[in-house]
Amino acid sequence: MKESYSLVFNIKRHDPEAHKSWMQTYRIEAGRILRFTDVLRKINKELDPTLAWNSSCEHAQCGSCSVVINGKPMLACELLVENAVVYFGTTTFTIEPISVAPVLRDLVVDLEKAYDRVHRIRPFIIQPSKNPNQGQEYRISPRRMEGYLDATRCINCFCCATACISSHKGFLGPNAVMASVVRIMDPREDATEDRLKQLYSEEGVYRCHTSKACSHVCPKHIDVAHFVGLAKERDFT
């Protein structure tokens, strides 16, 4: 087991004021269990304080740090140097911003724009169904929840949308579709028809080619394509 690695990071940079983009190479020594966010911080401290990148929780729980590493969208805060070297079989990494939103600077994108798609599906209960226990909680059996619970783990990191070939052409995208499917399956939501109308519209599920790239890249290991598939087949039981 190696204690530390000599890494080459080729990072796609962008200067919004000069309207300039370029690739910049950083050579850096990093311990085996540092995460990519730690390495980016190390680059800031030792080589270049101007390099901009995004993160928040650094616990793989907020979905702020998604970047494209050697072609694969991933969370930088959970990728260990050692695992990256093994997974990609190299110590050279190309790091680019995710492609579903405009770049603000370097690796930082305007996530608000990416979220437009999620906002469009209305990520809340649009029309509450009648609650037989007024003033108390709804009763929902765990078995009923099982069908959609996995989808509620989504952190909107947009890795799936970045990988999805259909996402760039007016498709709501896998995570947004999945969020709507959750509410269709949730007995507390009555606005199912509204939701279906949107899912079968121009921006809806028919744009999906069932490539399953979304499920493949999801850092939360959610089978996103399965939920998109439920919508395609109109099977929400």
For residue 70 the two structure tokens come to: 């050697």
Could you say which residues in the range 19-38 bind other proteins, by CB under 8 A? 30-35, 38
**Rule CB under 6 A: is residue 196 a binding residue for ligand FES?**
no
* 170: region left, alpha or beta (phi > 0 left; psi from -120 to 50 alpha): left
Could you say which residues in the range 45-104 bind other proteins, by CB under 8 A? 45, 48-64, 77-78, 80, 82-83, 104
When binding is defined by CB under 6 A, the residue of 47, 62, 80, 196 that contacts ligand FES is: 62
Angle (CA) 189-192-196 rounded to 5° is: 145
Could you say which residues in the range 80-139 bind ligand SF4, by CB under 6 A? none
Under rule CB under 8 A, how many of the chain's residues touch other proteins? Answer: 71
When binding is defined by CB under 6 A, the residue of 65, 164, 182, 185 that contacts ligand FES is: 65
- Residue 25: CB minimum distance to other proteins, A: 18
Quote the CA–CA distance of 206 and 187 in Å, as a whole number.
25
Amino acid at 207: R
**Rule CB under 6 A: is residue 222 a binding residue for ligand SF4?**
yes
Helices 81-88 and 36-46, axial angle in degrees (round to 10): 110
For residue 139 the two structure tokens come to: 């009763």
- Residue 90: CB minimum distance to ligand FES, A: 23
When binding is defined by CB under 6 A, the residue of 52, 53, 55, 159 that contacts ligand FES is: 55
For residue 119 the two structure tokens come to: 């906002």
- Residue 151: CB minimum distance to ligand SF4, A: 8
For residue 39 the two structure tokens come to: 């390495």
**Rule CB under 8 A: is residue 145 a binding residue for other proteins?**
yes
**Rule CB under 6 A: is residue 179 a binding residue for ligand SF4?**
no
Any bridge partners for residue 75, and if so which?
Answer: 66
Segment (H or E) for 180:
helix 174-185
When binding is defined by CB under 6 A, the residue of 164, 182, 184, 185 that contacts ligand SF4 is: 164
Nearer to ligand SF4, 188 or 232 (CB): 232
Q: For residue 7, what are the CA distances in angstroms to 66, 86, 122, 181, 208?
A: 20, 13, 43, 42, 37
| CA dihedral for 31, 36, 41, 43, sign (positive or negative) | positive
In the complex, the residues that contact ligand SF4 under the rule CB under 6 A are 63, 154-160, 163-166, 174-175, 208-214, 218, 220, 222, 224-225, 228
